Amino acid sequence: MPWKLERSDAFNGTHTTLHTGAKMPVVGLGTWKSKPGEVANAIRVGVEAGVRHIDCAQIYGNEKEIGEALKGLFDSGVVKREELFITSKLWNTFHAAQDVRPALQKTLTDLQLEYLDLYLIHWPHGFERGDVLFPKNEDGTVRYADTHYLETWGPMEQAVNDGLVRHIGLSNFNCRQMTEVYEKSTVKPAVNQCECHPYLNQEQLLAAARKLNIVFTAYSPLGSGDRPWAKPDDPKLLDDAELKKLADKYGKTSAQVLIRFQVERGVVVIPKSVNADRIRANFNVFDFELSEEDMVTMASFNRPWRACEPKLKLDDGSEIPRDAKHPLYPFNDAY
């Protein structure tokens, strides 16, 4: 089917509108893989460059340092809390109803915040409860929990009612799972955050989210070339020859073109960097537009290929999706 640009009616160029009417900046700063010792400066550089959306997660292991950076920015008057849109995520070991609030409270304490703008269930499938974030068996396989995400959603809704979070949402949920939460919830999911880039353009999932008035956020929008498990023969999106031609055409970097591709689709995008120049450049994407022809060209890159699918290495050296046997694993569905 030929690709067609369908911009959300809620999209106005720099912000999108959530189902509550609140505004969410379409370009944010991701913090996955941003090491302690580097992430605080990245936050400062980003905010000073105009970034007003910061994406965090407990599992990233850097929320305390982000909190210190945010406090410094607030105390010095660089930005006010209400001017920022801050997201975090509930990790897989805290899906049990009684664990949601303590996990959220830890994130708020670490970030030194009274509330989050958005709190997401990081993955639909849960791990064994406890303080070990990746509980494993002797053979290296993960120890799972059978908690259904609808059981987790109730305490998420209560956090909204109690004013600890403004919106709640999903991450890595497939279409069927996203729709189930939407249909069975009182407080509707505001966002579904998933891997998305031209090699995995998520056209079907994006269309489904739009029908439910759920904003779609793209993580790893540059292809996550610095992911720890990358192999030498994996696709390298930023090195794509056709992408480089487009970047040259517009006088922009390949990263800027990738970010602008999502912006023009009405997709929120959260590129990660700790390099000051790249952080500034990644936010500087509002002074050009891609032509319809070039949008179609970029959509044609779709393979689809995932950079961020947890894998388990077998004795023979081959790899399989780590969590595929879990009944709630999202990527067993086509989208």
Closest CA to 119 of 148, 79, 159: 159
Q: Which amino acid is at 95?
A: H
Count the Cβ atoms, other than its own, within 10 Å of residue 186: 9
How many whole angstroms separate alpha carbon 146 and alpha carbon 113? 31
Task: Report residue 75 as tokens.
Answer: 């105390």
Q: What are the C-alpha distances in Å from 52 to residues 152, 185, 203, 318?
A: 29, 29, 26, 42
Question: Cα(171)–Cα(218) distance, rounded to whole angstroms?
Answer: 10
What residue has token string 């729709």? 179
Tell me if 205 sits within 8 A of 175, measured CB to CB. yes
Residue recorded with tokens 């969410």: 24
Q: Which residues contact 115 (CB under 8 A, 6 or more apart)?
A: 108, 163, 164, 165, 166
149 is catalytic: no
Round to the nearest angstrom and report the end-to-end CA distance of the chain: 16
Three-class SS of residue 316? coil
d(CA 146, CA 140): 19
- Residues labelled catalytic: 60
